Structure 1
Amino acid sequence: MSIQNRNEAASFTKPFAHVHTLLTAHGFDEVAGKENSFYELPIRSEGESKGYPFRVYTRAAENNQLVVDLSEARFAAEGEVPAEVSAKADKLLATLREKLQGEPYKNESTPIDEAQNGRMSNNEEEVKQLGKVMTDYPTNKEVKESGMVPDPIQ
């Protein structure tokens, strides 16, 4: 599936939480607007520090749903994008399409009598997801160096 030719791309309507979790787990940052938003991820070529901002656009639907049309996904920068970067975007879009087509989102919480309270997560999948999310957070040292005060010890 080429960025220029995405006949297979489709539009998906899913719960906000599902779309947001999926895109942020793949490294996208949300840029919210009043009605519509987009998720952006800088895709880098090997050995380059500059990233090419790649955007996936969403729009609000009824009942806290989001519409994601992968055929609208594109690079924000003007000009040529290296073939390697374009190939990475193609692979990413294929992965997103597969996950959006997959099993319906389940927003079910663990029953209280089954929850393992006092733990960060209830299973290995949640631990992996938390690890991905936490890699983006600054350390206490980085927070202090930026002149801010870190959260107190819990």
Structure 2
Amino acid sequence: MKEFSKTLATMTRPFSFVHKTLSEFGFVRPKTHENQLYVTTFADSITQRVYTLAVPTRLLENGHTEVYLGHTRFDTEEEPPSRVVEAAICRMKELADYLNQPNKRPHTVETASNGYMATDSYDIRRLGNEMKKMKTNSELKQTGLIPDPIQ
């Protein structure tokens, strides 16, 4: 994945921001790598294989984390198919854009824009993920529960 080293740089951000952003992009920190690595998978329906993509990180003493986007690699012996590589490059570029955004502090009750479900793109993503996990009224009825509020 030499393209990553050409186009993506190392970024230093607060750990909480890095962890939250990488988690939202589907990355996890396996315990086997001493928490210095985030991994995600790409499934290829044609070859029926799953490819693991790893992003190295380093926790600094000041509580920030360096993310080595340019050193992102697939954990495989052979090169994944080009369609998988292209999907990974797109995801990494999008991740770099998110990591470059300023780290906004959450709104307090006093400063929140009341009357809106979402005040920024982070809230939209968060609400979307919450809605995916919610059961529909028919699913609730099948399990014997009563939907609330009844509409």
TM-score (norm 1): 0.68
Q: Distance in 1 between matches of 2:130 and 2:60?
A: 26
Q: What is the match of residue 142 of structure 1?
A: none
2:125 is equivalent to residue 128 of structure 1: yes
Q: Which has the larger radius of gyration?
A: 2
Kept in 2: contact 1:41–1:55 (CA 8 A): yes
Identity %: 27
Q: What is the match of residue 143 of structure 1?
A: none
- CA 12–41 in structure 1, closer or farther in 2 if over 3 Å, else same: same
- CA 7–34 in structure 1, closer or farther in 2 if over 3 Å, else same: closer
Q: What is the match of residue 64 of structure 1?
A: 63
1:22-61 alignment, distance < 5 Å:
22-32=21-31, 36-47=35-46, 49-61=48-60
Instruction: Please give the per-residue CA displacement for 1:11-70, whole angstroms capped at 9, x wherever unaligned.
Output: 110001111111111111122468652111111223555310001111011321000011
2:27 is equivalent to residue 21 of structure 1: no
Instruction: Please give the per-residue CA displacement for 1:61-98, whole angstroms capped at 9, x wherever unaligned.
Output: 13210000111110012213111101111111211222
- Residue 105 of structure 1: which of 96, 99, 103 is its match? 103
Number of aligned residues: 133
Q: Distance in 2 between matches of 1:115 and 1:48?
A: 48
Q: Distance in 1 between matches of 2:109 and 2:38?
A: 34
What amino acid is the match of 2:125? K
In the alignment, structure 2 segments of 5+ residues that lack a partner are 136-151
- CA 79–72 in structure 1, closer or farther in 2 if over 3 Å, else same: same
TM-score (norm 2): 0.70
Q: Distance in 2 between matches of 1:32 and 1:105?
A: 27
Instruction: Please give the per-residue CA displacement for 1:69-128, whole angstroms capped at 9, x wherever unaligned.
Output: 11111001221311110111111121122222x33212x232243459xxxx76464253
What is the root-mean-square deviation in Å for CA atoms of aligned residues? 3.0
Q: What is the match of residue 2 of structure 2?
A: 4
Kept in 1: contact 2:37–2:57 (CA 8 A): yes
What amino acid is the match of 1:132? N
